[in-house]
Structure 1
Amino acid sequence: MAELRQLALPSFARRMSVREEVADALRGAIVSGEMKPGELYSAPGLAERFGISATPVREAMLDLVKQGLVEVVRNKGFKVTDMSETDLDQITQIRELLEPPIAAQAVTSISAQELSHLRNLASAIVDAAAESDLISYIGADREFHVRLLSASGNQRLVRIVEELRAQTRLYGLSSLASSGQLVASAREHQRMCDLIEAGEAEQLQELMRTHIGHIRREWAGRKG
């Protein structure tokens, strides 16, 4: 039974949204590759790691089951759903079709206040990369991209992209963080903010396409 002895998940006090907090933390651990397919995780074991009761952890895990991120192992616990190279290639192809043109719309539709929020998140992403805090990195990165795409006003598309991003596995993040290369990739978010402010929609679209390519190659530890 694999628990979280070696995973850098945060501990936190009880809140009204404990279930959501746990789901976000576990989602980050899955996406970053720190929780691995084939290993078994129990709700009581996870709850002990977080310092909370097993009930919100079990509820959070069931939420992740609905998203296809984990599977129930009867009478044992949960395991992370495995993703093949083909699965990841197809997810990347869909993201490359959807995200760059929608992100480019932010140049004309995003408010100054929202751009300020994006800059704060971009800084948080860089800081998390510098500290090799992969869970915080994944969380800030997710919020950055959701906010950026939400500027288009197309919430259906945002939900689709959120699901695709959640299914991605970034097994190469740990090695990139330890080598210092993740900081350079993180700074792409700051560059995106600069391009939005400068009104460079075409360049933003191209950078977003490059960014997604990084995710599939270096970040996901693509073989071959």
Structure 2
Amino acid sequence: MPGTGSNGAVTRSTLRQQIADALRDEVLAGRLQPGQEFTVKEIAEQYGVSATPVREALVDLSAQGLLEADQHRGFHVHEYSAADYRGMIEARSLVTDGMFQSLVAGCMQQLNASRAAVALAAVRRRGEEAQRAATAGDLNILIGYDLRFWRELSGLFGNPYLADFLHRLRVQSWVCTVQHLRRVDDLKGYLWSGHTELVDALARRDPEAAQAIVAAYNEHSLSLIERLDADSGPPGV
């Protein structure tokens, strides 16, 4: 594991976060399957570390809703349903709708025009990378850029608690969706790619347009997940 300090030792808190990040990526990549069970000892041996930071990392991921603890047995990857995804979308919408209004009415006005343009341009570049991955149907690349896109966009709001909350929701959403999207052989044409369109709406200070873009995105993704959940997904499943 990387991340040694100046004295050559990795602090327990750093190791704990590294293990949590690595396991989250394993779940998002589909290498840890829904319902798959594992123990603290197995993960500790896999990464060549002691049990304590592993146990702490697994507890952290359980608190985030990615794993579930099995009493006296270990942990397993949480299995999400389409109903879970609907709840996540509702929660995300409550956050983003308010965020868009505030960004346009408050935060953007507090920045001068040049600073606002620079801030949005940086987010837009991240969105362009996400769009390219979505268009190519590259789910792994898309997830990374999409999470960074929303993290940076919500960061403009200036409230780290809101940004962290939305980030957790989006991680949970991706964990849920990958459990369904991995069934699709070719994802070209199925993945949302409206990132730059969303940024452009905010740059125009048009929160209603931004909300409409995200609402269409949510409707599209929920419909897809519900079809896959019912085992009657799109062609190629």
Q: Offset of 1:67 from its aligned partner?
A: 1.9
Instruction: Tell me the equivalent position of 1:180.
Output: 188
Would you say 1:20 and 2:8 are equivalent positions?
no
CA separation of 1:90 and 1:131: change in aligned 2, threshold 3 A: closer
Q: Do the aligned partners of 1:32 and 1:138 also contact (CA within 8 Å) in 2? A: no
Identity among equivalent pairs (%): 25
Deviations, residues 20-56 of structure 1 (Å, cap 9, x unaligned):
344234324435655333211345555666x653555
- More displaced 10-residue stretch of structure 1: 173-182 or 62-71: 173-182
Instruction: Tell me the equivalent position of 2:49.
Output: 53
- Unpaired segments of 5 or more residues in structure 2? 5-13, 109-115, 233-237
Instruction: Tell me the equivalent position of 1:198.
Output: 204
Instruction: Tell me the equivalent position of 1:212.
Output: 218
* Aligned pairs for 1:98-117 within 5 A: 98-107=95-104, 109-110=107-108, 111-117=116-122
CA separation of 1:219 and 1:31: change in aligned 2, threshold 3 A: farther
CA separation of 1:37 and 1:15: change in aligned 2, threshold 3 A: same
Q: Offset of 1:147 from its aligned partner?
A: 2.3
* Aligned pairs for 1:93-132 within 5 A: 93-107=90-104, 109-110=107-108, 111-129=116-134, 130=136, 132=138
Tell which structure's C-alpha radius of gyration is larger: 2
Q: Offset of 1:144 from its aligned partner?
A: 1.5
CA separation of 1:41 and 1:181: change in aligned 2, threshold 3 A: farther
* Aligned pairs for 1:11-90 within 5 A: 14-16=2-4, 17-31=14-28, 34-43=31-40, 45-46=42-43, 53=49, 55=51, 56-74=53-71, 76-90=73-87
Equivalent residue letter for 1:14:
P
Whole-angstrom distance in 2 between the partners of 1:92 and 1:117: 26
- More displaced 10-residue stretch of structure 1: 157-166 or 27-36: 27-36
Candidates 137, 152, 164, aligned match of 2:169? 164
Task: State the TM-score, normalizing by the size of structure 2.
Answer: 0.69
Name the SS for the 1:181 alignment partner: coil
